Structure 1
Amino acid sequence: MMVAGRTAGKAQTLARKWGGRAGGFREVAEFADIALVAVLYQGMPATLAEIGDALRGKPLIDCNNPVEIERFTLVTEPGRSMAQDIGQATGGHVVKAFNLCHARVWQMDPPVFDGRRLVVPYCGDHSAANDMTRQLITDIGGEPLSIGGLQHALHLEGMAAIVISLLFGGRDPHTVFNLVDGAPVTASR
């Protein structure tokens, strides 16, 4: 496993934690059998420029959300997803997944709520990349839910704008959609 990041020290720390090594974005992309790109939308153009075509033909999971936090709207061109832009820039087989939960949810082992596994929607156009993503979702304890081709990434990104606005509004990351009699439920942890 290899990890890249805009801050080399953070990438090295994370790589050590996961039993891997750190490298530059292009080096990691060339090494990868499958890549997960997680970059703030403001840094995406520079990251993609550094990666270049090193992910061409490889499975690439996009968990990013191109959402500005003033009005909680998408910053991408209308009708186009960041996932599609990443695919066009890299030539990778992009699957949109893992973008609808707060980081604290992904720290759960496994992510289970009221005895049910977390449902993780994903979408992509390449069957092998979809299969690898589905397996990864299962491996972390989630329930994979295919919502179709990559054209649906726009809908996952739009839903993320709503989730992010709720989180900024103070909703608990573990129970963002839980309602009892129409009122939000908050959890203490």
Structure 2
Amino acid sequence: MRIGIFGTGGMADALGAHWARAGHELLVSGRSAENAAALANRLGAATGTWPEVAAAADVLLLALPAGAVLDVLAASGPLTGKVLVDCTNDPALTGAPVASRIASASPGAHVVKAFNLAPTDIWQLTPPAWEGRPLSVPLCGDDPAALAAVGTLVRDIGATPVAGGGLDRAALLEATAAFVIGLWFAGEDAQAILAPVG
């Protein structure tokens, strides 16, 4: 699969490293050409402008601050038919959910919310796991083919895709992330709020 990575931070690096090991072709674009080149070098990827990467990729990982995503999408050119993987979080939950804003700004693209519920250092593990248990990754989206593609990418990092419903349910993932991140920063064990089934 040809994967475009928008962003050069921890999530771009962590997920990109897994996908490079799985044999996917990666392309990187960032707000800093120097940072994009450094990440591309680590991943064995190519670099390009936003429009170049968007045009070449089948799937785009939006690993950017929530406040920057819409500007980058506007600079990327037509995204019709592209799968946009939204791993962003807006801890302040200002306005509409980020996934909804992305979908509104990118008519014809297929948005899938994923990878937003664990911190970057967990995604850097091979495979991503918590106390020996591989992560489950909820996916919210409306297009079956897009969900299948992102499900493949989840399995390629050693995690398990979980059907989370339509894109309208992405708001629940974003709210969950905001709540759990608040607990982590307060020093609480967020994992302990969910009792195991059994």
Q: Does 1:19 align with 2:44?
A: yes
Tell me which residue corresponds to 2:192: 178
Structure 1 or 2, whichever has the larger Rg, is 1
* Cα distance change on mapping 1:52 and 1:163 into 2, 3 Å: farther
Tell me which residue corresponds to 1:71: none
- The TM-score with structure 1 as length reference comes to 0.82
Q: Does 1:61 align with 2:77?
A: no
| Paired residues of 1:117 and 1:142 also in contact (CA < 8 A) | yes
More helix by percentage: 2
Q: Deviations over 1:69-109 (max 9, x none)?
A: xxxxx0123xxx21121122123100000011111011000
- The TM-score with structure 2 as length reference comes to 0.79
| Paired residues of 1:51 and 1:90 also in contact (CA < 8 A) | no
2:68 to 31, 43, 56: 43
Q: Counterpart of 1:99 in 2: which secondary structure? A: coil
Q: Does 1:99 align with 2:116?
A: yes
Q: Counterpart of 1:42 in 2: which secondary structure? A: helix
Q: Deviations over 1:45-88 (max 9, x none)?
A: 321211132x21111111011223xxxxx0123xxx21121122
> Displacement, 1:112?
2.2
> Displacement, 1:27?
1.3
Tell me which residue corresponds to 2:125: 108
| CA distance, structure 2, for counterparts of residue 116 and residue 22 of structure 1 | 34
Letter in 2 for 1:178: A
Structure 2 alignment gaps of length 5 or more: 1-25
Q: Does 1:132 align with 2:149?
A: yes
| Paired residues of 1:52 and 1:90 also in contact (CA < 8 A) | no
| CA distance, structure 2, for counterparts of residue 159 and residue 28 of structure 1 | 31
| CA distance, structure 1, for counterparts of residue 86 and residue 50 of structure 2 | 15
Q: CA RMSD in A?
A: 1.7
Structure 1 alignment gaps of length 5 or more: 69-73, 182-189
Letter in 2 for 1:46: D
The share of aligned pairs that are identical, in percent, is: 42
> Displacement, 1:145?
0.7
